[in-house]
Amino acid sequence: MRQAGRYLPEFRETRAAQDFFDTCRSPKLCCELTLQPLRRFPLDAAIIFSDILVVPQALGMEVVMVPGKGPTFPEPLKEVEDLLKLRQKVDVTAELGYVFQAVTLTRHSLEGKVPLIGFSGAPWTLMSYMVEGGGSTTMAKAKSWLYRYPEASHRLLQLLTDVVTDYLVGQVAAGAQALQLFESHAGHLGPEQFQEFALPYIRDIARDVKSKLKAEALPLVPMIIFAKDAHYALRDLAQAGYEVVGVTLQGNLDPCALYAPKEKIGELVKKMLESFGTQRYIANLGHGLYPDMNPEHVGAFVEAVHAHSRHINKHG
């Protein structure tokens, strides 16, 4: 997911001097933080260091990172009228150009060693943060919008879809070689709400990004959809216009497995690869790494994936 993180001492050192979102706005620091995990581990791709909440910021909302609490919106969306405070037309180059600069700088710095992945949050996940005002275990405020204000919810989701589409196209123009869309809060929706308030926008983003890339003569890069805990929607997601579906239990190892001894990590990876094979399959973790994880265990995971893949490819 995010390869850089607090589990790396060099990350903590680079990040110590600056506010989180100031770091996101510094192309030089984003480039450095993106490259740090690759200096340590033989990873097969780099993921640009950024955050999904730069999109609500581009719409004019304030987001601050509160230590011990996480991302917080001092003035979340409470009533339908609050939608009028959002920018209705967003110039992504003006508002998010710092991400594009980070992508270009990182792409040059990688010197073709591995591809660079760009990403964005998906509309429902972004909306849920904007209404909740931060993280939430229930998403009750955001879900109540879907029931109480369905039309306004669709207006907000459409606005987010338009911005996310331009943002992803801009990342490809800047040098991203694959794109990932994170519907991290999919699991908070039941199948019906997912069908109405998440899936149509996920589909539209795939379609619109591809048509804009064609129109601008940019590379048609592979797109990955990651909808956390939306196991009930796998069939629909597989037909939503993406080249790759990232799923939490299928094909991805539980991040907490990295707390196990290194030998055990190797066994779990072997079992996972034997189940999924090595073709058209990306070995990954089900979600992010935790700050207290041992970098050596992350290294053991990466090494095990490479070693067992080579063995399976050689011996069938």
30 is written with which tokens? 């984003």
Distance between CA atoms of 205 and 158, rounded to whole angstroms? 10
Which of 224, 205, 124, 221 is CA-nearest to residue 163? 205
Distance between CA atoms of 12 and 6, rounded to whole angstroms? 6
Beta bridge partners of 253: 285
Distance between CA atoms of 19 and 204, rounded to whole angstroms? 34
Beta bridge partners of 119: 180
φ/ψ of 250, rounded to 5, equals -95, 110
DSSP-based three-state secondary structure for 101: helix
Distance between CA atoms of 307 and 270, rounded to whole angstroms? 9
Please give the positions annotated as active site. Answer: 2, 6, 15, 51, 129
* Sign of torsion over alpha carbons 43, 49, 53, 58: negative
The DSSP bridge pattern shows strands 46-47 and 70-72 to be: unpaired
